[in-house]
Amino acid sequence: MRGAGTAAASACIAQLPPHGPVLRQHGQDVPAGQLARKRSLKSRKLRKRAPNSAAGPLRSSRSLRDPSRPSAAVKPWGTAHALIVASQRRSLRIDRRRANQHRASCSRPLTDSSAIQSSGGARRAGGRKLPPSGPPVSEAMEAAGGTGGAGAGPGRPPPPPGDLRSVLITSVLNLERLEVDLFRGRHHWVPATQRLFGGQIVGQALVAAARAVSRDEQVHSLHCYFVRTGDPKVPVLYEVERTRTGKSFSVRSVKAIQHGKPIFTCQASFQLSQGSPVQHQFTMPTVPPPEELLTQEELIQKFLQNPNLAERYRKHLNKIQAEDVPIDIKPVNPPDIFSSEPQEPKQLFWVRARGYIGETDMKVHCCVAAYISDYAFLGTALLPHRQYHIKFMVSLDHSMWFHAPFRADHWMLYECESPWAGGCRGLVQGRLWRRDGVLAVTCAQEGVIRVEQRPNQSKL
């Protein structure tokens, strides 16, 4: 009777239309939900017949199987539910692993062996293969970091003989990708204040944002806030949020994190190239060309030759000279460091990235310009107040607008001025000019400036 009843039930089930997962029983395809209901009904009947069985109450369909039937033909009850539970558990394990990687990366030393691996275009994080870096910003920077400094990417000419790749591309702005829209940056140069250089954070944040847009979109503005002091002993994590992707403009938000807390926030806007008859600009100041001026290192060496220079200031200048700043600077009107007389809050100097970058994606040069733009910028507000000793000076925010294509490894004139200072704050504005008179970049920054209320003593 049992075999006949089972065969009859199977024949009835076979006539129903398939719905949901299908299992195999007695050589026929049976919907999993109907098979589970049939087994549940059979289990209740068997429990009523033999409540005191020595084998105890039946707990699963495994005890109903005929030993002569192959076990692979019968599945446990609730197969669809079991698949859902397994998927949820797998997602939970992935989320926990990502969280552990995120916490571990905050304390991982800079000499970690999981540095950037540009070979093959694919990387691994947490044992899972990640997609290639994607947008041309990462491709150009990874190509620049090739063996022996050659770094010529596909379709790009090699650098001139005897010229090395810029360290800004091979090291400072070459972020390590940990996950999709999650990157880690390293430090190259730390100022004497033992705080992170603001230009490094701005440049690296723009690199992270640029990796989340298409090749044709170019950055036209960015607005940043420095919210906490950076720690030079640990790397910085950059988390990108794809705020908006439109037809002409796209916005990317970047958060820089150390020790689990944001130290910097930034929003960068990208635009597809568009022409317009509405165009104008200021006129570039008339200044001597960079070939006729001394570099900052040559000026420091000239000051050190003064025999009347106090020893403490001599040590300070030697310390500045020993800093490995990846920027070439030639001041147009260098201030007299031996004078405490107030000066006009304006300064001009030629700047460029040290080394070779070449013709590449414009976003790369914009990232380098973001790094350069913060160097000696806020100090413009102190030129009328040189009689005071600086106790504390940090940047609060930083904004940039990109107007025209340029080469960051070519000389550009940096025009800086401070229209206002007060309330322990100073405002500075800057313009980066190409040598042909085209306005390339406009910058603005406000910072905290605290001084001692006593005049400085003479340095001689």
Contact 337, 146 (CB under 8 A): no
Is 395 a catalytic site residue? yes
CA–CA distance, 420 with 244 (Å, rounded to integer): 35
The rounded distance, in Å, linking the Cα atoms of 450 and 391 is: 6
Strands 346-353 and 425-433 turn out to be unpaired
Q: Which of 138, 200, 204, 445 is catalytic?
A: 445
Helix (H) or strand (E) segment spanning residue 82: helix 79-107
Neighbours of 99 (CB within 10 A): 10
φ/ψ of 250, rounded to 5, equals: -135, 145
Q: How far is CA 110 from the centre of its chain?
A: 16
Q: Which of 395, 399, 409, 418 is catalytic?
A: 395
Q: Are 383 and 344 in contact (CB under 8 A)?
A: yes
Q: Do 351 and 374 form a contact (C-beta atoms < 8 A)? A: no
66 is catalytic: no
Query: Which contiguous run of DSSP H or E holds residue 350?
Result: strand 346-353
Angstrom distance (rounded) from CA 204 to CA 138: 12
445 catalytic, yes or no?
yes
Task: Quote the DSSP letter at residue 121.
Answer: G
Q: Of the listed 361, 374, 409, 418, which one is catalytic?
A: 374
Residue of 124, 131, 109, 116 lying closest to 176 (CA atoms)? 116
Q: Would you name the residues annotated as active-site residues?
A: 374, 395, 445
